[in-house]
Amino acid sequence: MRNWVIVVILLLGTWLLLSADVLMSTTSVAGSIAAGVVVSTAVALLFAGRKMLYKNIRLTPKALVYLLFYPLVFLKALLIANLDVARRVLSPSLPINPAIVEVKTNLISPLGRLVLANSITLTPGTLTVDIQGDSLYIHWIDAVSTDVQSATEKIVRGFETYLEVIYG
Amino acid sequence: MIESILFIVLALLALASAVVAVISKNLVTSIISAGLVSLLASLLYLLMSAPDVAMTEAAIGSSLATIIFFYVLNRIRAKEDSRD
Amino acid sequence: MNIGSIAMGAGFLLVLIGLWGILTRTHIIQIIVSFSVVDTGVHLIMVAAGYMHQRTAPIISEGLAASDAPSLVVDPLPQALVLTAIVIGLGVTALMLAFALRIHEKNDTLEIKNIERLRW
Amino acid sequence: MEITMIAGGVVSLSGSLFLLLGALGVVRMPDLFNRIQAGTKATTLGTMLFLAGIAIAEPSWIPKLLLLILFIIFTNPVSSHVLARSAHHTGIRMSDKTVVDHLAKTTEQRGSESLQGDEQEIAAAKSKGGER
Amino acid sequence: MGNMLFLASALIALVALGVSAIRFFRGPDTLDRVVAFDVITIISISLIAIIGFIMQRSVLIDVALVYALLSFLGVIIIAKYVERGL
């Protein structure tokens, strides 16, 4: 049920964003929105039963607050990542020290792991190469430590405190 | 003015990748280069104010044609692997 | 210089490059790739034929009123032709690839020089 | 009107500088993984800033630009992840500066014979020169 | 003034496209070319958006949407083919 509701909300949001300029210019706003509701409900009925991807998402108040905060954390990390890339690319000697290190994650749900892997890819100097079981293999452009524990501490911890609350 | 600059550079890139597509010895490179020719050509359509053609060329010429080529290459490779 | 004429020139060059590839390559998949380059070049020529300088896309929306569209838009007919041609080009490419698969099944090679049995 | 145009233009300009940095990184970096790193991060932020600049200058386009930014955030890391995985599986040569490779160790432990077979297959495919 | 800034950023994006095309033409391995192809598609999405802004037609944003949705499919197919996992 929760899965189904979230799929409907996501599809309806996409529909509203796509048809926003039509909605603003035409007079039949209610009809357009009703069409969106009908279509997204139908699509959710068709497909939501197949993959329970959003089953584990939590809807407690704390999780919602964290869900609002997470993009800010992510954008900050992305900005730092880009300044880092800029520094490395522009310096003539190319200060890189790459390694592929293994880190462990506590997240269980597939969606949480997906978001974690994508976030790691877009943050300073790290790129997810592979996931096997509960360990992620990360290409680190400037490997400070090659130990599993300390690398986990440095790379994963910042996101995981948020994602654990949201996805579990 | 700016449109002319964009247009000339994109056309030159398209010609260069067409040359790569034709003369390359590696099939994967040659197919990707053909996809790049389609992609740059769709940017040219966009500059010639034909957005519908650009959309179709991007969807079909650049994505779908590449996917079909790789599907066929995969079939051929599977057959050669099974024969060995 | 008008970008329509540049597009015309680029399209002709693409057609020539692709023709050279079709005539000189000996691997069948590469001949098909050259064919798709020729296809793109022809589409470019056709769109360039309908282009008029300093005019906008023939889609009527809030930025372009229907009443003064005829004096502001480019010729939409070549674009419609090219839309059809792109889709048919994909079909022809797929057909050629199906033939290539068939040739590979029969002869175990896609190199034209290695195909000795010319008749069935 | 003019002030939003200038603000949007500045944001777009900084975005295009990040795009240029990403392209430079793709050219300058020594091996494939580092190229993917530079390419993904810089182009993601660059495109986001670029579209945000257009959104500032033209507020009525905001919904579609927002959707475009969301698509890019979700699809860009996925494609780079797939590329990196495929590069590691095919055994791309890594840069000489590389310190350690945990992934190679685990795949060796997991099953040495199957992986060796895999690598022989890949080597055979490479010696065939990609069908030609 | 504002328009000049947008034109300048379009030109810089074009330069970025050309620079990543260098990697495409040089790139020793197939996957290097695929990375360059990926970067070129993403840059061309922003280029389409800015062309639409300069021409003042909102239709072109739809083209960019189609690009953003479909370009990544092609990259995934190529990577899967090279990985022998298609």
Could you tell me if D91 and D34 lie in one domain?
yes
Tell me how many domains chain D contains. Answer: 2
Q: Binning pLDDT at 50, 70 and 90, where does residue C45 land?
A: very high
Q: Binning pLDDT at 50, 70 and 90, where does residue A80 land?
A: confident
**What Cα–Cα distance (Å) separates residue C102 from each residue in A5, C97, D51, D95, E81?**
49, 9, 47, 42, 21
To which H or E segment does residue D26 belong?
Answer: helix D2-28
- Are E57 and C61 in contact by the 8 Å Cβ rule? The answer is yes
Check residues B59 and A95 and name the one with the higher pLDDT.
B59
* Chain C residues within an 8 Å CB radius of E55: 56-57
Smallest Cα distance from C20 to chain D, Å: 19
Q: pLDDT tens across E4-15, in order?
A: 888 888 899 899
Across residues A68-92, what is the average pLDDT? 83
Could you tell me if D117 and D79 lie in one domain?
no
* Chain B residues within an 8 Å CB radius of C101: 72, 75-76
Q: Is C58 domain-assigned?
A: no
**What Cα–Cα distance (Å) separates residue B22 from each residue in A54, C30, C41?**
47, 7, 14
Smallest Cα distance from D59 to chain C, Å: 15
CATH number at residue C79: 1.10.287.3510
D residues 71-100 lying closer than 8 A (beta carbon) to E: 71-72, 75-76, 78-80, 82-83, 85-87, 89-90, 92
User: Do E and D count as touching (3 or more CB pairs closer than 8 A)?
Assistant: yes
Check residues E85 and C92 and name the one with the higher pLDDT.
C92
D residues 102-131 lying closer than 8 A (beta carbon) to C: 131
Check residues A42 and C66 and name the one with the higher pLDDT.
A42
* Chain B residues within an 8 Å CB radius of E24: 17, 36
Check residues A96 and D82 and name the one with the higher pLDDT.
D82
> Do D40 and A141 lie within an 8 Å CB cutoff?
no
* Chain B residues within an 8 Å CB radius of C86: 53, 56-57, 60-61
**Residue E11 belongs to domain spanning:** 2-84
pLDDT recorded at residue C89: 92
pTM for this model (two decimals): 0.88
D residues 92-131 lying closer than 8 A (beta carbon) to A: 94-95, 97-104, 106
Residue of C nearest to E54 (CA): C56
Q: β-strand A99-104 against A126-132: which pairing, if any?
A: unpaired
Across residues C1-11, what is the average pLDDT? 86
| The pLDDT of residue A72 is above 50 | yes
D residues 29-58 lying closer than 8 A (beta carbon) to A: 29-31, 33-34, 36-38, 40-42, 44-46
Q: Is C61 domain-assigned?
A: no
Check residues A60 and E19 and name the one with the higher pLDDT.
E19
B-interface mutation test, from D64, D83, D128, D132, most B Cβ less than 10 A away = D132
Compute the distance between CA of residue C2 and CA of residue C53 in angstroms, rounded to an integer. 7
Q: Is C60 domain-assigned?
A: no
Say whether residue B25 is in contact with chain D using an 8 A CB cutoff. Answer: yes
pLDDT recorded at residue D109: 52
pLDDT recorded at residue D115: 42
| The pLDDT of residue C4 is above 50 | yes
* Chain C residues within an 8 Å CB radius of D128: none
Q: pLDDT tens across A100-159, in order?
A: 888 887 777 777 888 888 888 887 778 888 888 777 888 887 777 767 777 777 777 777
Identify which of C17, C91, C5 has the alpha carbon closest to the alpha carbon of residue C47: C5
* Chain D residues within an 8 Å CB radius of B73: 131
- D38 Cβ contact partners less than 8 Å away, ≥ 6 residues apart: A85, A88, A89, D21, D22, D24, D25, D26, D28, D29
Interface of E with C (CB under 8 A): 55-60
Q: pLDDT tens across E62-73, in order?
A: 888 888 888 888
Could you tell me if D87 and D115 lie in one domain?
no
First-to-last C-alpha distance (Å) of chain D: 59
Q: Binning pLDDT at 50, 70 and 90, where does residue C114 land?
A: confident
SS3 readout for chain A: CHHHHHHHHHHHHHHHHHCHHHHHHCCCHHHHHHHHHHHHHHHHHHHCCCCCCCCCCCCCHHHHHHHHHHHHHHHHHHHHHHHHHHHHHHCCCCCCECEEEEEECCCCCHHHHHHHHHHHHCCCCEEEEEEECCEEEEEECECCCCCHHHHHHHHCHHHHHHHHHHCC
C-interface mutation test, from E53, E55, E57, E81, most C Cβ less than 10 A away = E57
**What Cα–Cα distance (Å) separates residue D32 from each residue in B20, D25, D61, D74?**
21, 11, 37, 22
First-to-last C-alpha distance (Å) of chain B: 58
SS3 (DSSP) at C73? strand
Across residues A58-69, what is the average pLDDT? 77
Across residues E70-85, what is the average pLDDT? 84
Tokens of D24: 């430079």
ipTM of the complex: 0.86
Q: Which of C57, C73, C93 sits opposite B65 (nearest CB)?
A: C93
Q: Binning pLDDT at 50, 70 and 90, where does residue A50 land?
A: low
**Residue D44 belongs to domain spanning:** 2-95
Smallest Cα distance from C118 to chain B, Å: 21
Across residues C11-32, what is the average pLDDT? 92
List phi, psi (to 5°) of C11: -65, -45
Smallest Cα distance from B39 to chain C, Å: 10
Domain ranges of chain B: 2-83
Across residues E4-31, what is the average pLDDT? 87
pLDDT recorded at residue D126: 46
Tokens of B17: 């990748």
Q: How does pLDDT run along chain D (132 residues), one tens digit per residue?
A: 688 888 888 888 888 888 888 888 888 888 888 888 888 888 888 898 889 988 888 888 888 888 888 888 888 888 888 888 888 888 777 766 666 666 666 655 544 434 444 444 444 444 544 333
Tell me how many domains chain C contains. Answer: 1
pLDDT recorded at residue C13: 93
Compute the distance between CA of residue C43 and CA of residue C37 in angstroms, rounded to an integer. 10
pLDDT recorded at residue C88: 93
Tokens of E8: 């300048």
Chains in touch with A (≥3 Cβ pairs < 8 A): D
Tokens of C19: 């023709």
The dihedral formed by the CA atoms of E62, E66, E68 and E71, expressed in degrees to the nearest 10? -150
Residue of C nearest to D131 (CA): C110
